[in-house]
Amino acid sequence: MRRIILIGYMGSGKTTVGKALSKETGMMFYDLDWYIESRMRKTVAQIFAEKGEEGFRKIEHNMLHEVAEFENVIISCGGGTPCFFDNIDYINQQGEVVYLKATPEVLYRHLLMGKVERPLIKNKTPEELIAYITEQVAKREEFYNKARYTLDVSLMDNYEKIQLSVDQLRQLLNI
């Protein structure tokens, strides 16, 4: 039984790479944010607006305990998932955790391309955004660095190269 869990900052490619890896391997894919949205029948942005970040983190924690019980799956977490409660220790027990690591510049570029609404960074100017990413990654790395594996995706920074991330993950995990 395999359970692969992707973590990393917003824009590192957890959702994109997880989905592509699932297509290639035939393992089922669960994106924690999408799972939350379908279970709650609300978008992540709506949950943040209605319950605040604290309310979202509680729901995220509960939903994590559902998806991380599924077998033979690839799970992409939200960027903050490993950084609250004992989530990082829990997922390390439950599966093979991979930290998709990228520089703030690469994360910034990916976040500008993405269409998903991310409540923590909306309404930020480009200067504010790059400063926020740099500061938050520095705080969060303590949690991200607990992953069993780290894959630096900064060098795989263009659309065609999403495939390169998938290939390298397959090599790393031998799947």
Ligand X SMILES: Nc1ncnc2c1ncn2[C@@H]1O[C@H](COP(=O)(O)OP(=O)(O)O)[C@@H](O)[C@H]1O
Helices (H), the chain: 14-25, 32-40, 44-67, 87-94, 104-113, 126-144, 162-173
Strands across the sheet containing 3-7: 28-31, 73-76, 3-7, 96-101, 149-152
The span of 9-17, 50-58, 152-160, 166-174 binding Mg ion (CB under 5 A) equals 9-17
DSSP 81: G
CA dihedral 74, 100, 19, 133 (to 10 degrees): 120
Cβ proximity to Mg ion, 17 vs 27, nearer residue: 17
Applying CB under 6 A, which residues contact ligand S3P?
10, 14-15, 33, 44, 78-80, 118-120
Residue that is written with structure tokens 């019980």 in the block:
69
Q: Map residue 142 onto helix, strand or coil.
A: helix
Cβ proximity to ligand S3P, 3 vs 57, nearer residue: 57
Choose the one of ligand X, Mg ion, ligand S3P, none that binds residue 156, judging by a C-beta under 5 to 8 angstroms depending on kind.
ligand X
Question: Considering the complex, what minimum distance in angstroms separates the CB of residue 174 from ligand S3P?
Answer: 25
Cβ proximity to ligand S3P, 45 vs 164, nearer residue: 45
18 in a known ligand binding site: no
76's enclosing H/E stretch is: strand 73-76
Cβ proximity to ligand S3P, 10 vs 153, nearer residue: 10
Question: Considering the complex, what minimum distance in angstroms separates the CB of residue 1 from ligand S3P?
Answer: 25
User: Which is nearest to 29 in space by CA: 97, 85, 75, 90?
Assistant: 75
Choose the one of ligand X, Mg ion, ligand S3P, none that binds residue 82, judging by a C-beta under 5 to 8 angstroms depending on kind.
none
List contacts with ligand X (CB under 6 A): 8, 10-16, 76, 79, 110, 113-114, 116, 153, 156-159, 161-162, 165
